[in-house]
Amino acid sequence: MTLNDLIVDKPRKFLLFGGKGGVGKTSNAAAAAIWAAEHGRETLIISTDPAHSLSDSLNQDVSGGEIKIVQGVDNLFAMEVNPKKEFQKYQAAVSGESFNSISPPLPIPDLLTDLSGLTPPGADEALAFSKVLEFIESSEYDLIIFDTAPTGHTLRLLSLPELLNSFFGKLLTFRLRLSAIWDRFKSFFSRGETVRDDSLERLEALKKSIEAASSELSDPNKTSFIVVMIPEAMAIYETERLLSTLYEYEIPVDHIIVNMIYPDIPDCVFCRSRKTMQDKYLKEIQALYSEFNITKVPLFNDEIRGISKLKELAGILFE
Ligand SMILES: Nc1ncnc2c1ncn2[C@@H]1O[C@H](COP(=O)(O)OP(=O)(O)OP(=O)(O)O)[C@@H](O)[C@H]1O
Ligand SMILES: [Mg+2]
């Protein structure tokens, strides 16, 4: 199966691009998004890397945490997830503002009224993730491409469904007990006034979304994680780590992009030396990952920036 099959013949709904820092994740993800959109698929590219560079790569502003139309390509939309904004929404969902909305304010200990301090470990990733969940559930786009952060961060993101599930599970039980106590207080002090607290339902819904997203992302007919790497020792180590975690979380992987391969330039001692080094690691990569489809991308003589350069890269990836 070629990379093109993932978009045209056996189209997936989710493609995730990941790998070590600086190896070309954003460039390759953006090139794939342009290619898919040009082949008639309504495509959304989302950056989940807190250090966004999608705007730089597309050479247009897609920042601000909202979906933007990509100029110059039909059917293409882009978004850089804004963890700060998502954090505020999360706090609102978890604290259940309605607890504090009865006047006069009651002398309820903080612990009982304010749950906003209960932040799951890795909250920034969690929030970027909960934003992502919205898109996983939506059927608005034919294809959603994720430009992920460097490996360590992405591995935490992938472990989040499990983590959040147990976190929200505990939180739900806690809220249920709290609600029972609070209901008694309320009916005593508020003289019949009832204030509906829907934070439990919201938590329950978030928990369900997480479960649904996990199952979508582990379905090989829907999802493929594309590992991007360069032919160097450090990148191989990091790829090993990434692959074993993807395996653990049952995220399907069948493609590897080996990027920035040196051209063979006669009379250039520096290039020859780099190329000899890369050849050694290319052999190693081919032996290690023989079960994967490997696509090689040469080092361009310029940076890959803007739609037309990205189209050039797409030509190499998909043709
Ligand atoms: N094949 C290539 N030839 C030349 N330059 C490249 C190639 N691939 C990527 N680049 C350039 O290398 C830089 C890093 O690429 P990119 O931003 O895609 O990597 P990344 O893996 O997303 O980085 P980060 O980990 O910082 O998110 C960019 O300036 C990009 O234009
Ligand atoms: Mg990037």
Q: Which of 221, 219, 62, 236 is nearest to 147 (CA)?
A: 62
Once rounded to an integer, what is the mean pLDDT over residues 20-46?
96
**Closest ligand to 20 CA?**
1
Residue whose entry in the numeric block shows the structure tokens 């959109």: 37
Q: How far is the CA of 27 from the centre of ligand 2 (A)?
A: 7
Q: How far is the CA of 279 from the centre of ligand 2 (A)?
A: 25
Q: Do the Cβ atoms of 202 and 93 come closer than 8 Å?
A: yes
pLDDT of residue 213: 80
Q: Is 71 left (phi over 0), alpha (psi -120 to 50) or beta?
A: beta
CATH of domain 3-307: 3.40.50.300
pTM metric for this prediction: 0.83
Percentage of the chain exceeding pLDDT 70: 71
Protein residue whose Cα sits closest to atom 2 of ligand 1: 299
Question: pLDDT tens for residues 34-93?
Answer: 999 999 999 999 998 778 899 999 999 999 888 999 999 999 999 998 766 766 666 666
Q: Which of 84-93, 139-148, 290-299 has the lowest mean pLDDT?
A: 84-93
Percentage of the chain exceeding pLDDT 90: 51
Cα gap 18→155, rounded to integer Å: 10
- Ligand 1 neighbour 296 (Cβ under 6 A): no
pLDDT band at 111 (very low <50, low <70, confident <90, very high): very low
pLDDT of residue 192: 56
pLDDT above 60 (res 100): no
Q: Count how many residues are written for the chain.
A: 319
Amino acid found at 175? R
- Ligand 1 neighbour 122 (Cβ under 6 A): no
pLDDT of residue 197: 60
- Give the CA diameter of the chain: 90
Q: How far is the CA of 298 from the centre of ligand 2 (A)?
A: 18
Amino acid found at 145? I
- Ligand 1 neighbour 310 (Cβ under 6 A): no
- Ligand 1 neighbour 25 (Cβ under 6 A): yes
Alpha-helical segments (H) within the chain: 3-7, 25-38, 54-58, 83-95, 110-113, 123-137, 151-189, 199-217, 233-248, 269-288, 307-318
Which atom of ligand 1 is found nearest the CA of 19?
A: 21
User: Which of 28, 81, 234, 303 for mutating ligand 1's site (highest number of atoms within 8 Å of CB)?
Assistant: 303
**Closest ligand to 299 CA?**
1
pLDDT above 90 (res 25): yes
**Closest ligand to 28 CA?**
1
Residue whose entry in the numeric block shows the structure tokens 């691009």: 17
Q: How far is the CA of 233 from the centre of ligand 1 (A)?
A: 18
pLDDT of residue 81: 84
Protein residue whose Cα sits closest to atom 15 of ligand 1: 24
Question: pLDDT tens for residues 179-192?
Answer: 767 666 666 666 55
- Ligand 1 neighbour 258 (Cβ under 6 A): no
> What does the domain layout of the chain look like in residue ranges?
3-307
User: Which of 304, 311, 312, 316 for mutating ligand 1's site (highest number of atoms within 8 Å of CB)?
Assistant: 304
Give me the sheet containing 14-19, strands edge to edge: 68-69, 76-80, 43-47, 143-147, 14-19, 223-229, 255-261, 293-298
Say which residue, 193 or 292, is predicted with more confidence: 292
Cα gap 33→78, rounded to integer Å: 9
For residue 194, the 8-state DSSP code is -
DSSP 45-72: EEE--SS--HHHHHTS---SSS-EEPTT
